[in-house]
Amino acid sequence: MQMTRDLRIVSVQEWREAAEGTVSVRGLSAWYGRHRALTDVSLEVRPRSVTALIGPSGCGKSTLLRCLNRMHEVVLGATVSGQVLLEDEDVYGSGVDPVSVRRRVGMVFQQPNPFPTMSIYDNVAAGLRLAGTRNRGVLDGKVEQALRQAALWDEVKDKLRKPGTALSGGQQQRLCIARALAVDPEVLLMDEPASALDPVATARIEELMVELKRDYTVVVVTHNMQQAARVSDYTAFLLSEDGGGGALVEYGETRQVFEEPRDERTRDYVTGRL
Amino acid sequence: MARELRTGMLPPRVRRASINWGDRAFHGITTGFALLIAALVALLVLELATESVPALSRFGPGFLASTSWNPVTGEFGALPFIYGTLATSALALALAWPIGVGAAAFLTELAPRFVRSILGTMVEMLAAVPSVVYGLWGVFVLVPLLRERVEPWLIERLGVLPVFSGPPFGLGVFAAGLLLAVMILPTLASVSREAMSAVPRGQREALLALGATRWEVIRAVVLAQARSGLVAATVLALGRALGETMATVMVIGNSPSINVSIFAPASTMASVIANDFNEATGLQKAVLLELGLILLVVSLAVNTAARLMAARSTR
Amino acid sequence: MISTYRRRKLANMLMLSLLGAAALVAVVPLIAVAAYVVLEGAGAINLDFFTQLPSPAGEAGGGMGNAVVGTLELVAIASALATPTGVMAGIYLAQQGRGTRLGPLVRLLSDVLNGVPTIVVGLFVYGLLVLTTGSFSALAGGVALGVIMLPVIARTTEEAVLQVPSSVREAALALGLPEWRATLRVVLPTARSGILTGVILGVARISGETAPLLFTAFGNSFWSLDPTKPIASLPVQIYNFATGPYESWHRQAWGAALVLMTMVLALNLAARWLSRSR
Ligand SMILES: Nc1ncnc2c1ncn2[C@@H]1O[C@H](COP(=O)(O)OP(=O)(O)OP(=O)(O)O)[C@@H](O)[C@H]1O
Ligand SMILES: [Mg+2]
C-alpha cells in the first residue's frame, strides 16, 4: 500500500521533470523588417541535453536562438510567425508575456555583458532582486549557488563587492552564466559563448556546458565544429540558400550528423567543403 | 515547396504594444512627457497669439510696415524694431562669420591637439558667459571705448559714407552688433567644426597626395564638403542673434528710430519688450506681445530650417 | 611654372595665417570680459555681499544675499520641474520613439524650443502664470527657466541612453525584466554620468538667464523664499544695477557678475570633465 503510493508520487515527479525544459519549434519564420532571416524551422529540443546550432555565418543561428525566448522582437521591426512550445505552451500565444518566457528561458551572449554599474554580487542577484526578492539570506544563498554552478565561486568569493567589469573576459562570461542561472531557468540559450575567449577560458566554458545539462536544457550556437562535436548531444545544421532565409537542413544526434550525415550539404559543411 | 504553403513569404504585422502592464504604463508615461514638449511649443504660439489679439485686430498686417510709436495716442508700428533686429543681426553675422568659420577651420585642420583643446574650450566657454554679463561689460567697457576712440576714428576717415556718419554715441547699432558677434561666435564655430570634422579623412589625403597645399585642401575639400553644415551654422547663429535680449537692450540706446548710420541708437524687437513690457499697459502690452509672437514665429522657422539642414549635413 | 608654384605657396601661407589669426581673435573677447569681471568684481566680494541686503539707493555697503539665495531657489525650482520631465522625454526619444513618426517630430520640436528667444519664454509664462495668479512669483520664474532647461536635458538624456550598449539592455531583458525595470534599474544607471552632464549643462544655461525672469520672478529688494512672491536673482540684479545711476550699484553689479560667471564656468568645466572621464 505504502509502497505503491510512494511509487506513484515518484513517477509523477519524474514525468513532470522529464517534460520540464522541452522546447518544440514548429514552422518558425523570422524577419528583420522585410528581410527574411529564418524560413519554416521545426525541431524538438530534447530536455537536459546540449543541442548545438551550426551553420555558416548569416544563416540565422542567432536569430533562431533569440526567437526561443522572444528576444528577437527586441530588435526594432523584427517579426516572427510560427510556434515555439515550452512544455506545450506556445510562447507566442496571445496573452503570453515575453517577460515570463525569459524568466524560464535564460540567455548568455557572445560578448560578456555584465551590468557595468553593478558589483559581482549585484550582477548575480539582479534578476532575483528586480523580481522582488528582498530577503538577504535567500539572495546570499542563491548568489553562491549560481556562482558555484558557473564554476566561478572560488575565484570571486572574496571580492563579491568588486565591479563585475573588473573580471577577466572568461570570468565575466561565467558571471553572465551565473546571472542567468540565478533566476532558475529551465532552458539556457548560449550564443557563441566562448568565441570572445582564449582557449583556456573556452575549455572551462565547455566543461561547464556539460555540467549544466544535468539540470538544464542547453542550446548553444557555435562556429566551432570541434566544439559542437565535443559538447553537444544533438546538432542542428542550418543553411541560408540564395538569400531566402535560413532553413533547417539536418537535425539529429551529434555523432550521426558529423559522422554519417544524411544530407549532401551537411556533409560538405562538416568536412569543411562549403 | 511544402513550406511555402505553410508560412507566408511576407512578414506578419509588427505587434508594438506590450502586454506587460508595467511596460504599458511606462510607455504611456514617457510618451506623455515627450508630448509635453510638443504641447509646450504649441502652447507658446497659442498663448502669445491670444494675448496679442487686441494689437492684431487693431493694426492688422500694416503693423509690420508702420514706423509710428506713440503710447500716448496709441499708434504703434513694428518697422523700427524689425529694422533694429535685422541691422544688429546682419552686422553681427558679418563680423563673426569669418572669425568663427576661420577659427573652426584652424581648429579642425591645423591646430596641434593641445592647442585645439585649449582654444576649443575657450571658444565654447564664450557661450557660457551670461548675456547680462556681456551687457555689463558692454556698458562700462565697450561703449566708452567706442564713443571715445573707435567711432570718432571711423567717422573721421569714413564719415563720408552715410553708414559711418553722425555723432559718436557709443550706445547704438554698432555696439549691439559687436556684442552679438561675440555671442554668436561659439555657435558658428562649434557647428562649423562639427561639419568639418565629418568630412572623411581620406578625401583630404587624396588631394594632398596630388600636390595640393593645405589651404587648397581646406578650400576645395573641407569648406566645400562642409557647406551645408556651414549654412546650418550660419542660420543657427542668426536665430540666436535675432532673439538675444539682455546684451542688446543694455547697449543699443533703446530708441524706436531708423537711421542709416550704424552709430545711431535703435531698438530691436527683443530689446523693446525687455525695456517697456513691465511699464506698458493695455494696448501697448498687446503690441509688445505681438512683437514677441513675431519673434517666436521667426525663430521657429529659422531653427526648424537650421536643424533640418544640420541633420542632413552630418549624416 | 615656378611663379605659379610660388603664388600657391604664398596664398597658402597667407590663408593659413589668417585662419590662425581668426582662432586667436575668437578668444580675445573671453579674455577681455573675464579680465574686467575679475578686476572690477573682486573688490565688491566680501562676506557682506553674500549675507546682506542691497543698501538703499546710492548708499555704499550692503550686499546681494537675497539675490544669491533667489538664484539658487529659481534654479532649484527649474531643475525639479525639468529634470524628471526631460529624462522621461529623453528615454522616449531614445527608445519608444524609435521608428515612430512622433519621435523625430518631438526631437525637432525640442531642438526648436531650445532656440526660442528666452524673452519670449518670459512673455509666455507671464501670460500663463503671472496673469492668471495676479502676481509675479518665484514659481513663475522657475517655470520659465524650466522650459528653457527642458530641451537641454531631454536631448542629453537621449544621447546618454543611446550610448548604453544594446548588449546591456538585452542582458537585462533576457533575465526576464520587463522593459520599464530594465530601463530604470539597468539602462539609466549606466547612462548616469551622461544624464548628470546634461543636468549640469542645463543649470549652467539657466543660472545666468535674465530676460525670462523680468516678467516672471520680477525682483525683490528683500529676503524672500516664498515661491508665490516675487524673488530677487543675480542676473536681474546685475541688469538693474548696471543700468542705474549709482557708482556703488555699478560696483555691486560687477561683483555679482563675478559670482555668476565663476558659477557658470565652474559648472561648464565640471560637465566637460564628467563627459571626458566617462
Ligand atoms: N538586427 C538585424 N537587423 C537586420 N538584419 C539582421 C539583424 N540581425 C541579423 N540580421 C540578418 O539576418 C540574417 C541572419 O542573421 P543571424 O545573426 O541570425 O546569423 P548567424 O547565423 O547568427 O550569423 P553569425 O554566425 O555571423 O553570427 C543575416 O542575413 C543577417 O544579415
Ligand atoms: Mg550569430
- Classify burial at A256, counting beta carbons within 10 Å of its beta carbon; exposed 0-12, middle 13-18, buried 19 or more: middle
Residue C275, pLDDT score: 81
Taking CB atoms within 8 Å and a gap of at least 24, the contacts of C68-71 are C68/C234, C68/C259, C69/C223, C69/C225, C69/C232, C70/C138, C70/C217, C70/C220, C70/C224, C70/C231, C70/C232, C70/C233, C70/C234, C71/C207, C71/C233, C71/C234, C71/C235, C71/C260
Helices (H) and strands (E) in chain B, counts: 16, 2
Which is nearest to B172 in space by CA: B243, B87, B99?
A: B87
pLDDT tier at B2 (50, 70, 90 boundaries)? very low
CATH H-level, domain B61-314: superfamily: MetI-like (1.10.3720.10)
Q: How do residues B6-32 score in pLDDT, each as one tens digit?
A: 445 677 776 666 778 889 999 999 999
B91: pLDDT strictly greater than 90: yes
Ligand nearest A191 Cα, by number?
2
Ligand 1 pocket, residue A58 CB under 6 Å: yes
The confidence score (pLDDT) of residue A18 equals 63
Residue of C nearest to B24 (CA): C180
Sequence-distant (6+) residues with CB within 8 A of A42 are A25, A26, A27, A28, A248
Confidence bin at B211 (pLDDT 50/70/90): confident
- Specify the number of domains making up chain C: 2
Least CA distance to B183: which residue of chain C?
C29
Residues of chain A with pLDDT under 70: 1-19, 274
Return the bridge partners of A191, or none.
A221
Pocket test for ligand 1, best of A28, A29, A32 (most atoms within 8 A of CB): A32
Q: Which residue's alpha carbon is nearest to atom 16 within ligand 1?
A: A60
Between CA C126 and CA B37 the distance in angstroms is: 19
**Which among C22, C33, C253 has the least Cβ separation from residue B134?**
C33
Return left, alpha or beta for A85; rule: phi > 0 is left, psi -120 to 50 is alpha, else beta.
beta
pLDDT of amino acid B16: 60
Distance (angstroms) between ligand 1 centre and the Cα of A82 equals 19
Higher pLDDT, B113 or B309: B113
Cα separation, C35 vs C38, in Å, equals 5
Rounded Cα distance, C270 and C264, in Å: 10
Query: Where in chain B are the domains?
Result: 2-51, 61-314
- Looking at the fold, whether C220 and C180 belong to one and the same domain comes out as yes
Residues C231 and C263 in one domain: yes
Q: How many CB atoms lie within 10 A of CB A15?
A: 10
Task: State yes or no: pLDDT of B86 exceeds 90.
Answer: yes
Output the CA A75–ligand 2 centroid distance in Å.
14
Between β-strands B69-70 and A23-32, what pairing exists: parallel, antiparallel or unpaired?
A: unpaired
A36: Cβ below 6 Å to ligand 1? no
Could you give the percent of chain B with pLDDT greater than 70?
A: 95
DSSP element (H, E) containing A86: strand A78-86
Q: Is A244 in the pocket of ligand 1 (CB under 6 A)?
A: no
Pocket test for ligand 1, best of A59, A65, A76, A274 (most atoms within 8 A of CB): A59
Counting one residue from A and one from B, how many pairs have CB atoms under 8 Å apart? Answer: 35
Q: Which domain holds residue C132?
A: 47-276
Subunit partners of chain C (3 or more CB pairs within 8 A): A, B
Predicted confidence band of residue B131 (pLDDT cuts 50, 70, 90): very high
CB–CB of C167 and A109 under 8 A? yes
Q: Residues B20-49: what's their mean pLDDT?
A: 94
Dump pLDDT digits (tens) for A67-85.
999 999 988 889 999 999 9
Contact (CB<8Å) C190/A115: yes
Please tell me if the CB atom of residue A62 comes closer than 6 angstroms to any atom of ligand 1: yes
Would you state the cell numbers that stand for residue C234, as one nine-digit string? 543675480
Q: How far is A156 from chain B (nearest CA, A)?
A: 35
Residue B198 in grid coordinates: 565629418
Strands A247-253, A89-90: parallel, antiparallel or unpaired by DSSP?
unpaired
For A99, the closest of C170, C178, C186 (CB atoms) is C178
Q: What confidence score (pLDDT) does residue A22 get?
A: 87
In a 3-state reduction of DSSP, which class is residue B135? helix
End-to-end CA distance of chain B: 43
- Average pLDDT over chain C, rounded to whole? 93
For residue B313, name the pLDDT band (cuts at 50, 70, 90).
Answer: low
Judged by phi (left if over 0) then psi (alpha if -120 to 50, else beta), residue C220 lies in beta
Which cell is B191 given? 557647428
By residue range, what is the domain housing residue A99? 12-114+186-270
A81/B19 CB distance under 8 A: no
User: Between C145 and B22, whose confidence is greater?
Assistant: C145
Give mean pLDDT, residues C253-259.
96
Chain A nearest-CA distance from B314, in A, is 23
Atom of ligand 1 nearest to the CA of A192: 27
For all residues of chain B together, what is the average pLDDT? 90
Q: Is the CB–ligand 1 distance for residue A63 below 6 Å? A: yes
A40 contacts B6? CB cut-off 8 A: yes
Res C258 pLDDT > 50? yes
The pLDDT of residue B261 is: 92
**Does A110 fall in a domain?**
yes
Number of domains in chain A: 1
pLDDT, position B310 = 75
Residue B159: strand, helix, or coil: coil
- Check whether residue C12 and residue C143 sit in a common domain: no
Answer whether residue A140 is part of any domain.
no
- Please check whether residues C221 and C134 belong to one and the same domain: yes
User: For the domain that residue A76 is a member of, what is the CATH number?
Assistant: 3.40.50.300
Q: How far is CA B313 from CA B225, B229, C25, C107, C158, in A?
A: 9, 5, 27, 17, 20
More confident residue, B255 or B12: B255
Give the distance (Å) from ligand 2 centre to CA of residue B225. 38
CA distances from A62 to A19, A238, C167, C168 (A): 25, 11, 14, 17
Q: How far is the CA of A56 from the centre of ligand 2 (A)?
A: 10
CATH of the domain at C260: 1.10.3720.10
Contact B43/B30 with Cβ under 8 angstroms? no
Please check whether residues C152 and C221 belong to one and the same domain. Answer: yes
Residues A97, B19: C-beta atoms closer than 8 Å: yes
pLDDT (average), residues B245-261: 94
Contacts of B242 (CB under 8 A, 6+ apart): B85, B89, B269, B270, B295, B298, B299, B302, C117
C75 & C30 share domain: no
Of B243, B249, B304, whose CA–CA distance to B271 is shortest? B249
Q: Are residues C60 and C8 in the same domain?
A: no
Lowest-confidence segment of B254-263, C49-58, C231-240 by average pLDDT: C49-58
Q: How far apart, in whole angstroms, are the C-alpha atoms of residue B182 and residue B178?
A: 7
**For residue C278, is pLDDT > 60?**
no
Q: Residue A34 is nearest to which of B11, B15, B19, comparing CB atoms?
A: B11
Residue partners of C98: CB distance under 8 A and separation at least 6: A76
Q: What is the DSSP letter of B59?
A: H
pLDDT digits (tens, 9 = 90+) for B270-301: 999 999 999 998 899 999 999 999 999 999 99
C106 and C34 in a common domain: no
CA distance B203 to B222: 9
Task: Measure the CA–CA gap between B106 and B121, rounded to whole angstroms.
Answer: 14
pLDDT of residue B273: 97
Share of chain B above pLDDT 90, in %: 71
Poorest-pLDDT segment among A96-110, C82-96, C130-144: A96-110
Report pLDDT digits (tens) over C10-50: 999 999 999 999 999 999 999 999 999 999 999 999 999 89
Q: Are residues C34 and C108 in the same domain?
A: no
Q: Give the CA distances from residue A93 to residues A70, A272, B81, C42, C191, in Å, rounded to whole numbers and listed in that order.
A: 11, 40, 66, 72, 35
> Residues C15, B101: contact at Cβ < 8 Å?
no
Q: Which residues, numbered 45 to 84 in chain C, qualify as contacts with chain B under a Cβ-Cβ cut-off of 8 Å?
A: none
pLDDT digits (tens, 9 = 90+) for C91-128: 999 999 988 899 999 999 999 999 999 999 999 999 99
* Statement to judge: residues C76 and C178 lie in one domain: yes
Check residue A41 and report its DSSP letter: E
Q: Is residue A211 part of a domain?
A: yes
